[in-house]
Structures are given as C-alpha cells and as structure tokens.
C-alpha cells in the first residue's frame, strides 16, 4: 500500500473528502489490487436505474484501464437493491468470479453473501442505503453503515463508486480519474435529490467534463439530443430522458444497452445506441 500513502494528498480534490475515511475502503482496495494483479475474475453487480448504470460503467472503465479481467451483471428488477441467490448460483458462479463488487446494492443481502462465501467468491459491497441490524460478512464501503465516520452521508451509488475509484487511482497513480465525473453527474442528477455538499462538488466538476467529454457514449447522447451548449438544465433533462428510456417495457435490455453506450470505444456504435435509446422514451 506504499503508493497509496505516497499519493494520499491527492484526495483533496476541490474540497472532497479523503476516500479512506470511508470504513473498509483500505480493505476494498487491497482486495481489488490482488484481483487485478493476479488476473482474478471480477464481476460488477449493479442495479438497472441510471445511478446504478453509471456506477457499473464507471467501475468497468477504471478496471478495464488497469487491464483487469472484469465483467458485469445488471439486476433485472427496478427498485430492488438486494443480490439474487439464483443469479449467483446460475450465472456469476459460471463466469468463474473470484470477486463481486456491488454498485449501489447489497447492504441487506446477508444470506446471499454467505452463499458467495461457500462458493469461494469474495464480495465488496459499495452501497449508500441504510444497513439493517445484521450486516453481511463482506467488505462494506457505505457512508451509512454503522461505525462509518465519513462526514458526508448523502452520497449516491455512483458517488460511492467514484470514491472507490479515487482510492484505486491513488494506488495506481491514475492522473485523470476526475474525467469520469461526467458519468457521475448524470447518475447524481437521476436521483432527483437536492444537490449539496460533496454531490455538488462532483456535479459542478462533472459539468466541466461534460463540456469536453472524451466518453463516446456521452458525446453521442449530447449530439443525438441536440445539446450543443451544456448547462445544468439540459443535463438534468438528459438524465430524465435516459431514465425514461431505461424504464420502457424492455428496461432490463435497455439498462444493459446503456452500459454498453458508456463503455464503447466506437463513436459510430455510440451514436447507434444513443439514437435507439432516444426512440425508447415512453
């Protein structure tokens, strides 16, 4: 963990809190380092709302940059923030997963985490929901879990994922982790919450990166929706349109397609997906 200590000053990004103030952040980082360095299969497990989709996409982009062996799974139920035992047994197990990283879910999944343990799968839970009396026996990064003294409690799923990404970037000396704040801003807007504190910092900086984004999916969304001048109003509207697209009757397919939009490295493909999602608005 020496490189993390060398780069510890980097957390002070426009007044944001040190990610290592989140309980179990160092444990999560150590397990991810092991998985990346030993080429263990990592599966990111997220929800099918836009907050979850941007979380999954962000973590995929970060881990793919590190050449990790990583895949993802999106839950097929809206407003369901637990991990499904049948998915673990019938899907994730057969991917050969050694590590699951949840994105905005899992804090209530006590029995499901026990199942993962019996299958030899380690679980890193990143979540923001309040925890129950009994916590899953996993590495948990959640500002709202008991005994976590992180000063800002209103992080969204993508906000917690960005804090984990910050920690990873500090260890691997990734200089440009802030460029992913374009996705973070879209995810935060989708929650429809008052944007204060650290969320406000991430949104404000995310607006800057939206104006000069190098994410093909985000660029395609802006182009297809005729957004030439990026501002808070039209980005909030874009976030709402994305949510409407995803919540169509084919929402689970659309959620997975949205992830592909945000991680594609092909601009033509990005525009095809963006046009498709635009046409899916109810």
Residue 135's Cα: distance from chain center in Å? 21
The pLDDT of residue 223 is 95
The pLDDT of residue 38 is 97
- Residue 175 in 3-state DSSP? coil
Which stretches of the chain score pLDDT less than 50?
Answer: 3, 5-6, 8-10
Q: pLDDT tens-digit profile of 124-181?
A: 999 999 888 889 999 999 999 988 999 999 999 999 999 999 999 999 999 889 999 9
The pLDDT of residue 249 is 63
The pLDDT of residue 79 is 67
In our burial notation (b when 16+ CB lie closer than 10 A, e otherwise), range 50-77 reads bbbbbbbbbbbbbbeebebbbebbbbee
* Structural domains of the chain, count: 1
The pLDDT of residue 242 is 86
CB atoms within 10 A of CB 115: 16
Helix ranges restricted to H, 22-151: 25-37, 50-65, 85-87, 110-118
Would the pTM of this model clear 0.85, i.e. be above it? yes
The pLDDT of residue 1 is 52
Which residue segment(s) compose the domain that 181 sits in? 2-279
Identify the CA nearest to 230 among candidates 278, 279, 181.
181
The pLDDT of residue 12 is 55
The pLDDT of residue 13 is 61
- The answer to whether the beta carbons of residues 254 and 246 sit under 8 Å apart is yes
For residue 188, the domain's CATH number is 3.90.1640.30
């Amino acid at each position: 963990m020496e490189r993390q200590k060398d780069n510890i000053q980097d957390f002070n990004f426009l007044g944001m809190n040190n990610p290592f103030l989140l309980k179990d952040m160092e444990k999560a980082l150590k397990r991810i380092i092991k998985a990346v360095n030993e080429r263990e299969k990592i599966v990111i497990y997220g929800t099918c709302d836009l907050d979850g989709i941007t979380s999954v996409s962000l973590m995929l982009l970060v881990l793919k940059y590190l050449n990790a062996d990583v895949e993802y799974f999106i839950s097929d139920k809206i407003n369901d923030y637990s991990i499904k035992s049948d998915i673990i047994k019938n899907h994730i197990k057969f991917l050969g997963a050694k590590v699951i990283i949840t994105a905005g879910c899992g804090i209530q999944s006590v029995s499901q985490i026990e199942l993962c343990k019996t299958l030899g799968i380690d679980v890193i839970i990143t979540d923001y929901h309040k925890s129950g009396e009994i916590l899953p026996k996993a590495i948990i990064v959640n500002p709202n879990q008991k005994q976590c003294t992180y000063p800002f409690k209103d992080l969204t799923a993508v906000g917690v994922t960005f804090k984990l990404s910050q920690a990873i970037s500090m260890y691997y000396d990734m200089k440009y982790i802030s460029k992913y704040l374009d996705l973070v801003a879209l995810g935060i807007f989708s929650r429809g919450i008052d944007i204060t504190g650290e969320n406000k910092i991430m949104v404000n900086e995310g607006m800057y990166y939206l104006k000069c984004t190098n994410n093909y999916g985000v660029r395609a969304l802006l182009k297809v929706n005729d957004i030439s001048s990026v501002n808070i109003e039209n980005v909030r509207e874009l976030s709402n349109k994305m949510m409407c697209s995803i919540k169509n009757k084919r929402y689970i397919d659309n959620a997975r397609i949205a992830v592909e939009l945000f991680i594609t490295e092909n601009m033509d493909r990005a525009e095809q997906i963006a046009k498709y999602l635009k046409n899916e608005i109810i």
